Amino acid sequence: MLENDHPRLIRNLINQSNDAISIVDPETSLFIYVNNKWCSNLGYSSPELLKMRVIDIDTILTDSFSWKEHVKDLRKAGSMIIESEHRRKDGTVFPVEINLKFTILNRKSFIIGIVRDITERKKAELLLRASEERFRRLAENAQDIIYRYRLYPERGFEYISPAVTAITGYTPEEHYADPDLGLKIVYPDDLIVLKWILEDRSFRPVVLRWISKNGTIIWTEQRNIPVYDDDGKLIAIEGIARDITERKVSEDALLESEKNFRNLSEMVYRADPETYATIYCNKAHERLFGYPVEEWIKNPKLWEDAIYPEDKERVLSVLEEAKKNLKGGVIEYRIIKKDKAILWIEDHFSWEVDRHGTPVSLNGVAYNITNRKKVEEDLKKSEKRFKAIFNTTSVSIFEEDFSEVKKAIDDIKASGIKDFRKYIDENPDFVSKALQMVKILDVNDAAIKLYGARDKTELLESLDMIFTPESYQAFKEGLIAIAEGKIYYEAEAFNKRLDGKLLDILITIAIPSEQSEFKNMIISIFDITDRKKMEQDLIRMQKIESLGILSGGIAHDFNNVMTGVLGNISLAKIWAESDEKVKEILIDAENACFRAKELTQQLITFAKGGSPIKETIPIKGLIKDLTIFTLSGSNVKAKFDIPYDIWPVEVDGGQISQVINNLVLNADQAMPEGGIIEVKCENVEINKEDILPLKTGRYIRITIKDQGCGIAREHIDKIFDPYFTTKQKGSGLGLSTVYSIIKRHDGYISVESEIGLGSTFYVYLPASEKETCEKKEEEKNPIYGKGRILLMDDEEIVRNAANKMLTNLGYEVELIEDGVKAVELYKAAKDSGRPFDIVIMDLTIPGGMGGKEVIMKLLEIDPYIKAIVSSGYSIDPVVSEYEKFGFKGFLTKPFNIVEIGKVVNKVLKEE
């Protein structure tokens, strides 16, 4: 039938087509006609295929039912394009695209199919998806924000990376939901910058401020790329935004310091941004160039005329170009002095702008680099590389030949290894082999100084001493970075100086892109030891402050209970005067209470309320006496080096005694076989150049050095942490207490230690300008008296104990449990003509009016009131500055009959 209905020419054309063409009976799915291409694609002959059905070679349409459903859909649609899979005669399966047409000819239905092998297209799609997935992984893990913002046909984010959450607090989903969120977070004054970009189509890097979700200001640097359609219409913007807040703060601090021109010895100037006429310059200009300051100001052309003729055009061109983008920079050029001598200067300039972004002045600092230029000229004759920078930078630099390492890595990858990290984990020997391949070509002076070597030779011969296990781990990660094609690598590690001291270091490597550049790879090493110590100090203080909240509450409740115990014991001692056995037992109980009081004092020290009650004391006697006392009965001896003119300090004697006791006791326990503890005091002055986290000023430094077993490196960062101890006995609070006390005295403590070499603790305390005060001998017997006392405390046990003690001392006592009633009772007594002689009140009444609030109301009633504040713990400055709040005395809980009698007697005697 087909031969009768179709001309031979058309059939020949179909037979020679590059597409596989077939005609199928829709009822049976049998092939009625197939062309040559169809046969070659499937590997069957035409007679073979004409006996087969579609469902015999299609892997998706596998049964009669699915075929009928397919025909039903095709009949309804008329035509369709689908993707499927066909099976060849040899059993292999390949993807196809089928263009189907349902047609009726001479009242008979046919399905015409044109089939294309899309194997290559599918491979390309897989590669594309893999490429897109790699890009997405990079974008998802990047620290910078990567985005694409659509401008047409409707505005909105097409993509924004997860880094946006870490930087701004807003999630990608919030950006997708709100097309204007990217504008809403821009600081209002910076919106004009975005307007300029869109209007001028000037997509240069810009710095913008953002307002994060929590309201903080973030500085960002953005690099945008415009996306245009075929008609040149701007349809989208792609870009990267980086958080530069930390860098900006540093830059602002630098600019702020540069405003203080007069304090600088270098040449500082301020000039008109259009004419470059000098508006201000300091005396250094006069000293170096010979022209008086007045002449610089009066002659607007003096600076331009003084530039060496060959340099003038270049200098002015750099400034004009920089002004377009308001970029700062550095220019080196020559100046002709008044005496015609020539100076080379290095000019660091920046633009000061108003809030509209208009430059208002050109500011700069110029350095005399004439000598440096001469050195550079000499170096150029003898060296071709970068020795000037290499040996003048403060960064420690190693120049190393990594070419053999790079070749070895490339050979491994060429052998078919795709996961280099897995390979290196399975072949750890490669790391040590690679290390042997590296050749160190040179090191700079900063590296020699950093590691404490005498010269380059000593450093290179001592590399085995410098490297630690962490160093090898960092080297391993560096190899992986090279293998993975990264362009930058950094890692933190430990190194050792030649004197054995550990260094925290940051290693940075700019990994070359060209094979030849691996011959001269630059490894930069930064000493971050002090930064790490400061980070550890911050973490430690946060731990101690958290513990302080709990400690303070415990101390408050415990001291209230102990007041009742100690008060009653002190009374019982008096009443048991004639019974020596009972009195002896009571003395032991009282001493136990005093010991408990010392323990709670350690807890209070953690809390913010453990504020030191300071007085100026001579530190020499305190340190010496306490050290000797602590070492009593020990086989450890002390060696003192304390000058006679050591400065006095203003401290809480009790807390500093605790510091000395703990440090000396630790040193003693570190030397069970005996030894010498060196105790040294020095007067030191801290200035801005010092790296210690202390304010500038005068300090005394106390050094306590032992010859003990030392502290392991993994423990050195934890020794000041609460409850950390390596001893079988002990609470782990000793050094934490020391640390907290020193911090509260505005001081600093640090430690140096190595296993087997002992430990050295350094304590810094601010020196005092005040005269030292002498200590009076403590009163040991109760002081009796007379008078009416109003006692306020919310704890019944405290009220009862204090009442008994005061009554026994001869006083008439009224008890009250809250502040409101105390005010009412005091006023009523005063109005009745029988006023109270003294008021003792608890500082803290949970849920009620405490001593601080009560004294304010009582002062309104009686400006001459004599009041004593009582507390076992407080976060209020009333503890150390009670007189400022109207109190005449302070009573520390727990107290006994002697202590309460002494304070009451003292306050009553005051006029």
Which of 377, 397, 412 is at the close of a domain? Answer: 377
- CA 208/CA 189 separation, integer angstroms: 9
Which one, of 707, 716, 633, lies nearest residue 671 by Cα? 707
Q: What are phi and psi of 720, to 5 degrees?
A: -95, 0
Check residue 39 and give its pLDDT. 92
Provide the 8-state DSSP code for 888: S
Cβ distance 158 to 150 under 8 Å?
yes
Q: Which residue would you say has higher pLDDT here, 469 or 537?
A: 469
For residue 263, the model assigns a pLDDT of 46
Asked if the model's pLDDT at residue 722 lies above 80, the reply is no
SS3 call for 328: coil
What backbone phi and psi angles, to 5 degrees, belong to 503?
A: -120, 135
Collapsing DSSP states into helix, strand and coil, what is residue 13?
A: helix
Q: Phi first, then psi: what are they for 443, rounded to 5°?
A: -135, 150
Compute the chain's Rg from CA coordinates: 43
Per-residue pLDDT, averaged over 398-406, amounts to 89
Nearest Cα to 537, choosing from 663, 693, 651, 746?
693
Q: Which residues pair with 82 in a beta bridge?
A: 98
Whichever domain contains 92, its CATH number is: 3.30.450.20
Structural contact between residues 505 and 390, judged by C-beta atoms closer than 8 angstroms: no
Tokens of residue 474, six digits: 């960092």
In contact, 55 and 69? CB cutoff 8 Å = no
Give the strand pairing for 502-510 and 521-527.
Answer: antiparallel
Is residue 129 in some structural domain?
Answer: no
Judged against a pLDDT cut of 50, whether residue 507 lies above it is answered with: yes
SS3 content of the chain, % helix, strand, coil (to 5): 45, 25, 30
Give the C-alpha separation, 253 to 610, whole Å.
35
The pLDDT score that the predictor gives to residue 546 is 59
pLDDT > 90? residue 379: no
Quick one: pLDDT band at residue 729, thresholds 50, 70, 90?
Answer: very low
Query: Using one digit for the tens of pLDDT, what is the confidence trace for 411-431?
Result: 998 998 889 999 989 998 998
Q: Does residue 774 form part of some domain?
A: no
- Which domain CATH number covers 837? 3.40.50.2300
d(C-alpha 635, C-alpha 640), whole Å: 16
- H helices of 721-863, in order, are 734-744, 796-808, 819-832, 851-861
pTM for this one? 0.35
If one compares 889 and 464, the residue with the highest pLDDT of the two is 889
Beta strands in 303-447 (DSSP E): 329-336, 342-353, 359-368, 396-401, 439-443
Cis peptide before 894 (omega within 30 of 0): yes
Q: Between residues 254 and 730, which one has the greater pLDDT?
A: 254
What is the pLDDT at residue 378? 66
Residue 862 token pair: 């009686």
Is residue 228 assigned to a domain?
yes
Kindly report the number of other CB atoms within 10 A of residue 715's CB atom.
15
Give the best-scoring range by mean pLDDT among 190-194, 445-449, 907-911. Answer: 445-449
* Residue 767 per-residue DSSP state: B
pLDDT at position 669 is 87
Q: Report how far residue 161's alpha carbon sits from residue 146's, in angstroms, rounded to the nearest whole number.
A: 5
Query: Mean per-residue pLDDT for 224-239?
Result: 87
Please check whether residues 795 and 889 belong to one and the same domain.
yes
Q: Quick one: average pLDDT of 270-288? A: 88
Same domain, 854 and 807: yes
Query: Looking at residue 265, what is its pLDDT?
Result: 54
Q: Which are the contacts of 434, defined by CB distance < 8 A and separation ≥ 6?
A: 405, 408, 475, 479
What one-character-per-residue DSSP string does 824-880 give? HHHHHHHHHT---SEEEEES--TTS--HHHHHHHHHHH-TT--EEEEES--SSTTTT
Asked if residue 747 and residue 681 are part of one domain, the reply reads yes
Residue 893 CA to residue 790 CA, distance in Å, equals 18
Angle between helices 897-909 and 529-575 (to 10 degrees): 90
Taking the alpha carbons at both ends of the chain, their separation in whole angstroms is 135
Residues 473, 527: Cα–Cα separation, whole Å:
18
Which parts of 732-785 fold into alpha helices (H)? 734-744
Q: For residues 54, 57, 60 and 66, what is the CA-based torsion angle, rounded to 10 degrees? A: 30
CA distance 85 to 94: 6
Give the pLDDT band of residue 168 (cuts 50, 70, 90).
very high
Of 866, 876, 877, 874, the closest CA to residue 903 belongs to: 866
755 and 629 part of one domain = yes
Going from the C-alpha of 478 to that of each of 447, 475, 523, 526, the distances in angstroms are 20, 5, 11, 16
pLDDT of residue 371: 87
pLDDT at residue 349 in the model: 93
- The residue type of 407 is K
CA distance 218 to 207: 10
pLDDT at 133 over 80: no
334 and 268 together in one domain:
yes
Q: How far is CA 318 from CA 90, 205, 311, 431, 738, in A?
A: 73, 19, 11, 48, 58
Q: What is the pLDDT of residue 732?
A: 44
| DSSP per-residue codes, 647-663 | PPEEE-HHHHHHHHHHH
Q: Which of 649, 659, 643, 646 is nearest to 614 (CA)?
A: 649
Q: Is residue 604 part of a domain?
A: no
- Tell whether 408 and 373 lie within a shared domain: no
533 or 485: which carries more pLDDT confidence?
485
Confidence class for position 505, pLDDT limits 50, 70, 90: confident
User: What integer is the mean pLDDT of 434-463?
Assistant: 88
Residue 296: which of 284, 285, 311, 310 has the closest Cα?
Answer: 285
**320 falls in which pLDDT band (50, 70, 90)?**
very high
Q: Any idea what DSSP says for residue 224? A: E
What pLDDT shows up at residue 743?
A: 87
Q: Which runs of consecutive H residues, i.e. helices, occur in 271-394?
A: 283-289, 293-298, 302-306, 309-325, 370-382, 387-392
**With pLDDT > 90 as the criterion, what percentage of the chain qualifies?**
27
Structure confidence at residue 2 (pLDDT):
46
What phi, psi does 383 have (nearest 5°)?
-130, 150
| Phi, psi (rounded to 5 degrees) for 105 | -130, 125
Where residue 730 falls among pLDDT bands split at 50, 70, 90? very low
Question: Is residue 120 packed enough to be buried (19+ CB in 10 Å), middle (13-18) or exposed (0-12)?
Answer: exposed
How far apart are the C-alpha atoms of 383 and 376, rounded to whole Å? Answer: 10
Mean residue pLDDT of the chain comes to 83
- 469 and 368 share a domain? no
H or E element, residue 616: strand 615-617
What is the DSSP secondary structure assignment for residue 58, as one 8-state letter? B
Backbone angles phi, psi at 664, to 5 degrees: -65, -40
- Of 766, 795, 816, the position where a domain reaches its end is 766
Query: Whole domain around residue 76: which residue ranges?
Result: 2-119
**For residue 494, is it within any domain?**
yes
Measuring CA to CA, which residue among 881, 613, 650, 616 is closest to residue 773? 616
Q: SS in 3 state form for 575-620?
A: HCCCCHHHHHHHHHHHHHHHHHHHHHHHHHHHCCCCCCCCEEECHH
624 and 761 fall within a common domain: yes
Same domain, yes or no: 627 and 703: yes
Domain count, the chain: 6
Most confidently predicted of 87-91, 551-555, 582-586: 87-91
**Helix spans in 142-171 (H):** 163-168
- Place 135 in a pLDDT band, splitting at 50, 70 and 90: low
State how far Cα 64 lies from the chain centre: 68
Is 618 exposed, middle or buried, given 0-12, 13-18 or 19+ CB atoms closer than 10 A? middle
* Average pLDDT for 542-570: 66
Confidence of residue 385 (pLDDT cuts 50, 70, 90): low
Residue 432 has pLDDT above 70, yes or no: yes
Q: Which among 401, 402, 396, 395 is positioned nearest to 481, based on CA atoms? A: 402
What is the rounded distance in angstroms from the CA atom of residue 499 to the CA atom of residue 451? 8
Q: Which residues make beta-bridge pairs with 765?
A: 700
- Could you tell me the two tokens for 790? 């109003």
Name the pLDDT band for 687 (thresholds 50, 70, 90).
confident
Tell me: do 547 and 516 sit in the same domain.
Answer: no
pLDDT > 70? residue 1: no
754, 695 contact by CB (below 8 A) = no
pLDDT tens per residue across span 765-824: 999 887 655 555 555 688 999 999 999 998 888 898 889 889 999 999 999 999 999 999
Confidence of residue 232 (pLDDT cuts 50, 70, 90): confident
Least confident interval from 150-164, 464-478, 715-729, 817-831? 715-729
Does 255 fall in a domain? no
Tokens standing for residue 908: 């009553």
- Comparing CA positions, the residue from 257, 252, 220 lying closest to residue 239 is 220
> What pLDDT score does 136 carry?
67
Together in a domain, 272 and 333: yes
Weakest-pLDDT range from 186-200, 701-715, 786-800, 808-822: 186-200
Same domain, 470 and 357: no
Highest mean pLDDT among 55-69, 169-183, 626-640: 169-183
**Among all chains, which residue has been given the structure tokens 């950390």?**
724
Phi/psi of residue 349, nearest 5 degrees: -120, 155
Three-class SS state of 253: helix
Say yes or no to pLDDT of 827 above 90: yes
